[in-house]
Amino acid sequence: MKTPKTHPAVKSNLHPKSKHRGRYNFEELIKSHADLAQFVKKNDYGDESIDFFNPEAVRALNTALLKHFYTIDFWEIPEDYLCPPIPGRADYIHHIAQLLGESNYGKTPTGSHITCLDVGVGANCIYPIIGTKEYGWSFIGSDIDEKAIENAQSIIDKNFSCHPEPVEGKRKIELRHQPKANDLFYNVISKEEQIDITVCNPPFHSSAEDAAQGTQRKIKNLKGGKPTKAVKNFGGKSNELWCTGGENKFVRNMIKESKKFGKSCFWFTTLVSKQSNLKSIYKSLENEKAVEVKTIAMGQGNKTSRVVAWTFLTPTEQKNWRDSKWKKD
């Protein structure tokens, strides 16, 4: 056994409101989801952990986290679909909640009259789950994958069907199929809708080959260079992992299309994993004449990332929006 590691009591790189700043308490998590027990073992340092290279173990951990922290009774995803790390997804939600608060005289707007659009909701439905549980927001989740939509709907039906209907008769989480792979907001946002904020986890890679090489690099780094079979421990279908032009082109296309919906949404946001993409993203925002742009640093473990946010609303339009739509708080 290796010399035991010293672990900080709190993961200070996570958002202060995160429920995941402490180390995993596997004893408590197993109480919430007994199937996790079979995957919990002592690692080389004598700590209880799971094999994060085992997709089944990762899914069991996610299920336990969702049950324990977010009172989700049912959560399952089809094999090979993206199984995202919960702490990182929660961090994104808390950071955009803080962003809304900064635009609302320091008070984060909560309740079902606040609408968040998740571009690429996936089969896992993680952002809507966390956003509704933490802040009571309503969500629209869009995706080009009908099977993903079907699975996400099953999660919603089995967890949110008995919740009261939010204002104006809207469902708390509504899913919409995006029929055109190259569109992001067209066919999803209607003219009369007001979206307070959007979230997106763009496809990271530019091709299937690039995605496979990325998996190999990650495994090599985490395994200390030891050869091992490449397994996508967090899964992911092709449209979740890669697209032509990768993250850079995807985000720039999002910015260009978002201009057409600039008066229908207060804040557009997206994750940007590669720092090298920021220069061209900022240039696109400048070209489309975004009124305000913010970059929010995020860090999970050894990985650094960021959220880029932009709005086309003028200061006067922003004031009118929050005074009319957010005054219900």
Give the span between the Cα atoms of 55 and 174, in whole angstroms. 28
Give the span between the Cα atoms of 142 and 72, in whole angstroms. 21
Would you state the pLDDT for residue 169?
42
User: Where is average pLDDT lowest: 80-89, 139-148, 299-308?
Assistant: 299-308
H or E segment to which residue 218 belongs: helix 208-222
Position 61 pLDDT exceeds 90 = yes
Would you state the pLDDT for residue 2?
61
Q: Between residues 230 and 200, which one has the greater pLDDT?
A: 200
Q: Which of 215, 221, 206, 208 is nearest to 234 (CA)?
A: 215
User: Where is average pLDDT lowest: 45-59, 67-81, 148-162, 226-240?
Assistant: 226-240
Residue 137 β-bridge partners:
none
Q: Between residues 162 and 135, which one has the greater pLDDT?
A: 135
206 in Cβ contact with 245 (< 8 Å): yes
Would you state the pLDDT for residue 82?
86
Tokens encoding 65: 């986290």
User: What digits encode the pLDDT tens for the residues 146-204?
Assistant: 999 999 999 999 998 654 454 444 558 999 999 998 999 999 999 889 999 999 999 86
61 in Cβ contact with 148 (< 8 Å): no
DSSP state of 20: T
Using CA atoms, how far residue 251 sits from 161, 212, 259, in Å, is: 34, 21, 13
Give one DSSP letter per residue of 87-154, joined into a string.
Answer: HHHHHHHHHHHHHHHHTTTT----STTSEEEEET-TTT-HHHHHHHHHH--EEEEEES-HHHHHHHHH
Would you state the pLDDT for residue 204?
64
Highest mean pLDDT among 202-216, 233-247, 296-310: 296-310
Position 130 pLDDT exceeds 60 = yes
User: Where is average pLDDT lowest: 4-18, 37-51, 132-146?
Assistant: 4-18
Residue whose pair of structure tokens reads 């408590």 in the numeric block: 28
Would you state the pLDDT for residue 299?
77
The domains found in the chain, sorted by start residue, are: 24-71 (no CATH), 85-325 (3.40.50.150)
Quickly state the pLDDT bin for 205 (edges 50, 70, 90).
Answer: very low
Q: In this structure, are strands 195-200 and 173-177 parallel, antiparallel, or unpaired?
A: unpaired
